[in-house]
Amino acid sequence: MKKEVMAIAGLLIAVFVLLFGNNIYQQFTGHSIFATPISTTTTSPDACVVPELTNLDQGAAENAITQLGLQPVRSTQYNSEVKAGIVTGQEPPSGTMLKPCKGEIIITISLGPTPSPTLTPDTPAANIAPEGRVQVSSVYDECYSGNKAVDGVIAGYPESLCTEWGSRGEGPGATLRLVFTRPRRITDIILYDRPNNLDHVLEATLTFSDGTTIKTGSLANDGTAKMIGFDPKTVEWIEFRVNESDGPNIGLAEIEVYGW
């Protein structure tokens, strides 16, 4: 009788272990007694080495990255040395061991040379001097105010009165400044001396708001055009300052500024 009881008890324990043992085992180990452990190496290898990607074209570099199960991330940069579409850099660098083999590889792709800014807009350059505000070092009288140098009339004493800027007794140091309300792209300036045969600018300096300067040389004493050309520049103001001159009341019949 005692043997029979023990046999039944043993049988009950065996059934209990079969029914609940696996749950208890799983709780502590994370695995099932009955399951075969599954390898995870097929989808995410334990480790891999980052390949050399520099000088590959973008498509080849991205393929190489995705084949390792990694994520390509693009960054672009203008580069005058390398043609567009070629990888110029990578992060992490080649040879880096990734453990586990996952994450992002940043590749820098050349966009080719920096595009040069448009030098000349589609519309032809126009004389924008009349759009500027004129400041002068002095005026002979209201008839010879600074605005007369941008009034569109290329003429002066003695044929034409009140169409030119004349300073009051100035020679070297006489200054006319043209201030624009916004940055303007300019490419040429034409200067017209006072046409009378007394006042003559022998040398002046054009100073621009971008810090550049140009010496004008001698203006034409008969008041015809003196053209000053230069590489296009963007400025907010232009200053004309006389360095050397002849005559009692130096000035300008007109200043034309060509630009946009």
Pick from 106, 125, 153, 214: which binds Ca ion (CB under 5 A)? 153
Contacts of 50 (CB under 8 A, 6+ apart): 70, 90, 92, 93, 94, 95, 96, 97, 98, 105
Residue choice 163, 175, 216, 249 for contact with Ca ion (CB under 5 A): 163
48 binds Ca ion (CB under 5 A): no
Q: How far is the CB of 127 from Ca ion (least distance, A)?
A: 12
CB of 148 to Ca ion, least distance (A): 5
Nearer residue to Ca ion within complex by CB, 148 or 177: 148
Interacting positions 164-223 with Ca ion (CB under 5 A): none
6-22 as b/e: b if 16+ CB within 10 A: eeeeeeeeeeeeeeeee
Q: What are residue 106's phi and psi, to 5 degrees?
A: -90, 125
162 lines the binding site for Ca ion (CB under 5 A): no
Query: What backbone torsions phi and psi does residue 197 show, to the nearest 5 degrees?
Result: -85, 10
CB count in 10 Å sphere of residue 141 = 9
**Calpha distance 251→220 (Å, rounded):** 13
Contact between 254 and Ca ion per CB under 5 A: yes
**CA atoms of 66 and 24, how far apart (whole Å):** 41
Pick between residue 170 and residue 254 the one whose CB is nearest to Ca ion.
Answer: 254
Tell me how many residues contact Ca ion (CB under 5 A). 5
Supply the minimum distance, in Å, between the C-beta of residue 246 and Ca ion: 20
Q: Which is nearer to Ca ion, 23 or 147 (CB)?
A: 147
Write out the residues near Ca ion by the rule CB under 5 A.
148, 151, 153, 163, 254
